[in-house]
Structure 1
Amino acid sequence: MNIETWLSFALAAMVLCFSPGPTLLLVMGQSLTYGKRSVVPLILGVLSGDIIAMSLSVLGLGAILAVSATLFTLFKFLGAAYLCYLGIKAWRSKAAKAEETAQVASGAIFKEALLVTALNPKGIVFFMAFFPLFIDTALPYLPQVLTLAVTFLLVSALSVSFYSLFAGQLRQKIRSPKLQSGFNKLSGTMLIGAGALTATMQK
């Protein structure tokens, strides 16, 4: 793979990863709820979800999703329902408990980020359709796929870090329980909105 092809892929990955979507809305919502301590589990969860989506694409599930309206719809509504569930949970959370539970919530934050990312059918179909555009058939296949995968994961980690740190720092500046409760409701609204957007997306 030449440097021009790699740079083109990296630029395309940056546009995709930094554009608002269900995963980034989840990241913002969780960071507003739990603060900067959520950054590491969010990054690990999103990257794990990306790896699952890429693996499923390589195994052929992306092709099945691309041609099966029923399976695509099933994945879509599973992801949408989970996002709405997280949004409702954020709405019901109390400001006084947000800081107290931030440390022990790492496992739950990781799981939520992983599931939202992995259950996004667009991601699986994207990897199936996007990666081949940058593959040179005259060169060995596996090294190119690994290079693209690692590049995408690095860009994804940068995107999640940026959004989560921004939201986390914003929340840390707010000490008022009333405002923290407002942030919880804002994050819940964002998650429910992400669920609604996921439910309406088309192949």
Structure 2
Amino acid sequence: MDYTLYINEFLILASALFLALLAPGPDFAMILKQSITYGKRASIVSSIGIGLGISVHVIYTILGIGLVISKSIVLFNIIKYLGAMYLIYIGYKSLRSKGMQLQTDSFLIKNEISDTKSFMIGFLCNALNPKATLFFLSMFTVVVSIDTPIYIQSLYGLFCIFATMFWFIGTSLILSQRKVREFFNSFGKWFDRVVGVVLITLGIKVALSK
């Protein structure tokens, strides 16, 4: 079997994913919030959630449901508004936050969050992200041939899941460094306010997008 076509598809897909990860969006804003407010563990768990959230897009795209969504304005709008409402809700919670309190002597954060909640925050952020929906619809309809075997498409999907996961885990490790967190901690409540405004703005932008 000639794998040249699949190698070309993979390289285009990998390049597009890399560029998409470089562009700041809801996922990055969420990881920034988790890293600074709750620390490395919570941020890494959220990163795993974001990566596995991609599996939702991969599954419905490979099953062909993605084609239905791309042809149905109603279904796409439902996904779009759910994602927008989720971002606005998280942004609102951030605006209402009292800010983190970092104990510089032991470098512990008083704020606590469960692994389950951290995971779901990341998972839902990506699974309900209409930009991710558009990305995978375009990749698996324009770049990936309809004749590409399901198992090859599944390998593409697994790559996207783990590449995204490790990207944000790396981002988490950087943002959760002591100096970085102490820097953001100096802003106190203002950091949460800025992140809240960014998330709400992204939510409104998503809701108004066509």
**Fold match (TM-score > 0.5):** yes
* Equivalent position amino acid for 2:129 in 1: N
Picking from 85, 101, 125, the partner of 2:111 is: 101
* Partner secondary structure for residue 173 of structure 1: helix
CA displacement, residues 50-73 of structure 1 (integer Å, 9 cap, x when unaligned): 001211222333222212222212
Report the alpha carbon displacement of residue 33 of structure 1 after superposing the two structures with TM.
Answer: 2.3
Instruction: Check if 1:60 corresponds to 2:70.
Output: no
Q: Is the 8 A contact 1:83 1:116 kept in 2?
A: yes
Q: 1:20 to 1:195 in 2, by over 3 A?
A: same
Distance, in Å, in 2 between the alignment partners of 1:5 and 1:74 is 30
Distance, in Å, in 2 between the alignment partners of 1:180 and 1:34 is 13
Instruction: Check if 1:11 corresponds to 2:9.
Output: no
* Equivalent position amino acid for 2:35 in 1: S
Q: 1:19 to 1:107 in 2, by over 3 A?
A: same
Instruction: Check if 1:164 corresponds to 2:172.
Output: yes
Report the alpha carbon displacement of residue 200 of structure 1 after superposing the two structures with TM.
Answer: 2.1
Structure 1: gaps (5+ residues): none
Matches within 5 A, 1:13-162: 13-96=17-100, 99-102=109-112, 104-132=113-141, 133-135=143-145, 137=147, 141-162=149-170
Report the alpha carbon displacement of residue 123 of structure 1 after superposing the two structures with TM.
Answer: 2.2
Aligned residues: 198
Q: Is the 8 A contact 1:83 1:191 kept in 2?
A: yes
Distance, in Å, in 2 between the alignment partners of 1:126 and 1:4 is 18
The higher relative CO (CA closer than 8 Å, separation ≥ 6) is in: 1
Identical aligned residues as a percent: 27
* Equivalent position amino acid for 1:86 in 2: I
Q: Is the 8 A contact 2:70 2:137 kept in 1?
A: no
Report the alpha carbon displacement of residue 42 of structure 1 after superposing the two structures with TM.
Answer: 1.3
Distance, in Å, in 2 between the alignment partners of 1:56 and 1:17 is 21
Report the alpha carbon displacement of residue 46 of structure 1 after superposing the two structures with TM.
Answer: 0.4
Q: Is the 8 A contact 2:100 2:111 kept in 1?
A: no
Distance, in Å, in 2 between the alignment partners of 1:175 and 1:54 is 35
Distance, in Å, in 2 between the alignment partners of 1:82 and 1:97 is 26
Distance, in Å, in 2 between the alignment partners of 1:166 and 1:182 is 21
Structure 2: gaps (5+ residues): 103-108
Instruction: Check if 1:196 corresponds to 2:174.
Output: no
Distance, in Å, in 2 between the alignment partners of 1:187 and 1:34 is 14
Q: Is the 8 A contact 1:45 1:114 kept in 2?
A: yes
Report the alpha carbon displacement of residue 136 of structure 1 after superposing the two structures with TM.
Answer: 7.9
Q: Is the 8 A contact 1:84 1:191 kept in 2?
A: yes
TM-score (norm 2): 0.81
Q: Is the 8 A contact 2:13 2:139 kept in 1?
A: no
